[in-house]
Every structure is written in structure tokens, then in C-alpha cells.
């Protein structure tokens, strides 16, 4: 594991640079990093599924100032917009929902309401996701895929580790907002970096298996938590600093 730790530390050191975010090496953070608005940044994270270059291309077409516009203008401007699983109606609804939330709530404060239960980022995410659904009062496959469903719980009311997806885009958003370095934005307060969970996608899942960070075969929340615990052996206070390096190692087929 010492060799793996050195490899990852070297990758973190070399990749913690602004130039890692470019149109030649696309990542949704390239667009998100232009903004200080937590709702805009969350939209960038939620639409971050699919091929990275196509994600960035789509995000570049969105007029995020619509989060401050009338519902009528949102309907008009987004009438022809769609993205993979989201129809134009789904996109209109998410913009209108975020506009309503933004008028009344800080996302950071909403998250902290859930997170305050045992410093659980999962409880924080669940609280925010539930609030989005409550305010939206709208159901469609595309909308639910975009914002995710509240996390599944057991009979005692605890969030299940097995049976839940990794919530990759949400954990990536948390990484952006909580951590602060040359890449991550560090705009949120009150959350400890050690409580973050690895934003597990197919790249980091396969790379983690190849590196011996994970022996489990199932791509789910449990695997994300197991890898996070393993990374704490390398840096207990900031295990998710390795996420971007793991992602690039997989994306660039270094391993």
C-alpha cells in the first residue's frame, strides 16, 4: 500500500493545478468554477453525467442568470433545451425550483440541518434532496434522475449502505464546496473534510479495484464508503483529496 499511497500523493500534487481544468481536459468543474453561486454550481454537478466533453458543452449553453428571472422567462428561454434523460419541461422545473429555494434558503444552511445529525454528509444530502422534491412538487423520470431520490432507509430509519446508489454527483458537489485548493472551491462552512464521501463513478470504481483499494464487486454506496475508509489510511483528515487524481487515472487509462 505504500507504493499506492506514493502514486496517489504524486498524482494529487501534479494535478492540483488550474490548468487541469480546460477544454482539452474537460470536467464540469471547468464551468462551475466560474461562479460563486451555490445553486449554479449544484446545477453543474447534477448535469455532470455522460461524456465529460458533452457535459461541458451543454453547461456552456445554459444561461444561469435565469435563476433570477421570472417563471415566464424561464419557460420561454428553456423551451428548446433538453439533455439526455431530461426534457425541456424537466429543465424548466429544476430552474424554477432552484429559483424558489434560492429566494428563501442557503443550500449550505439546508445541508447543515441534516449534517448536524452525527456529522453525516448522507443525512445532509438527504435533507437537501427531500427539500428540492418538496418545493418542486413535480414528478418525472428525468427530473428524479437529475436531482436523485431521497436515500433509502432501513426499518430503524437509518440510511442503508447496501441498496443505495453512490450519489456520485452529489458527493462531487460536496467535494467542490467543502474542500479548498487549486481545483475545489471551498465556498461552504461548517463541514469537516474528513466526513466527505468519495464521488464514486465507473472510472474511480474500476481504478480503485485495480489499485487494491476495493475488493467489493458491487457499484453502490457501500463501495464508496469502503474506498473512503481506505483512503483515510493515507490521509485521515482529507481522504477525498484523492478523488480527482483517481478520476483522471481512470479517464486517461494510466492504469
Write down the domain spans for the chain: 2-251
Predicted TM-score (pTM) of this structure: 0.96
Query: Could you give the CA distance from residue 216 to residue 42 in angstroms, rounded to a whole number?
Result: 30
* pLDDT in the model for residue 250: 80
Give yes or no for a contact between 236 and 189, defined as CB atoms under 8 angstroms apart. Answer: no
* pLDDT in the model for residue 60: 97
250 HSE (CA, 13 A, CB side): 18
| Residues sharing a CB contact under 8 Å with residue 254, sequence separation 6 or more, in sequence order | 248
Query: Dihedral of the CA atoms 99, 102, 103, 104 (nearest 10)?
Result: 130
Q: What is the pLDDT of residues 38-72, one digit of tens each?
A: 999 999 999 999 999 999 999 999 999 999 999 99
The helix-helix angle for 107-115 and 38-46 (nearest 10°) equals 70
Q: Cell digits for 26?
A: 474537460
Query: Could you give the CA distance from residue 173 to residue 154 in angstroms, rounded to a whole number?
Result: 26
* pLDDT in the model for residue 198: 98
| pLDDT of the chain, 255 residues: tens digit per residue | 889 999 999 999 999 998 899 999 899 999 999 999 999 999 999 999 999 999 999 999 999 999 999 999 999 999 999 999 999 999 999 999 999 999 999 999 999 999 998 999 999 999 999 999 999 999 999 999 999 999 999 999 999 999 999 999 999 999 999 999 999 999 999 999 999 999 999 889 999 999 999 999 999 999 999 999 999 999 999 999 999 999 888 888 777
Amino acid at each position: 500500500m505504500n507504493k499506492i499511497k506514493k502514486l496517489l500523493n504524486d498524482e494529487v500534487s501534479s494535478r492540483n493545478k488550474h490548468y487541469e481544468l480546460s477544454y482539452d481536459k474537460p470536467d464540469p468543474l471547468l464551468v462551475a468554477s466560474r461562479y460563486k453561486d451555490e445553486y449554479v454550481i449544484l446545477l453543474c454537478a447534477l448535469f455532470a453525467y455522460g461524456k465529460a466533453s458533452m457535459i461541458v458543452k451543454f453547461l456552456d449553453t445554459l444561461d444561469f442568470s435565469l435563476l433570477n428571472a421570472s417563471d415566464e422567462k424561464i419557460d420561454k428561454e428553456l423551451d428548446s433545451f433538453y439533455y439526455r434523460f431530461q426534457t425541456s419541461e424537466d429543465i424548466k422545473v429544476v430552474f424554477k425550483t432552484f429559483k424558489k429555494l434560492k429566494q428563501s434558503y442557503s443550500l449550505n444552511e439546508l445541508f447543515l440541518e441534516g449534517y448536524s445529525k452525527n456529522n453525516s454528509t448522507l443525512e445532509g444530502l438527504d435533507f437537501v434532496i427531500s427539500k428540492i422534491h418538496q418545493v418542486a412538487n413535480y414528478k418525472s423520470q428525468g427530473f428524479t434522475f437529475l436531482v436523485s431520490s431521497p436515500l433509502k432507509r432501513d426499518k430503524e430509519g437509518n440510511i442503508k449502505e447496501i441498496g443505495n446508489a453512490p450519489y456520485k454527483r452529489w458527493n462531487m458537489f460536496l467535494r467542490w464546496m467543502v474542500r479548498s485548493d487549486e481545483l475545489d472551491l471551498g465556498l461552504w462552512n461548517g463541514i469537516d473534510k474528513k466526513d466527505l464521501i468519495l464521488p464514486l463513478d465507473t472510472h474511480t470504481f474500476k481504478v480503485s479495484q485495480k489499485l487494491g483499494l476495493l475488493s467489493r464487486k458491487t457499484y453502490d454506496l457501500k463501495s464508496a464508503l469502503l474506498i473512503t475508509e481506505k483512503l483515510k489510511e493515507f490521509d485521515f483528515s482529507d481522504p477525498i483529496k484523492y478523488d480527482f487524481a483517481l478520476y483522471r487515472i481512470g479517464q486517461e487509462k494510466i492504469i
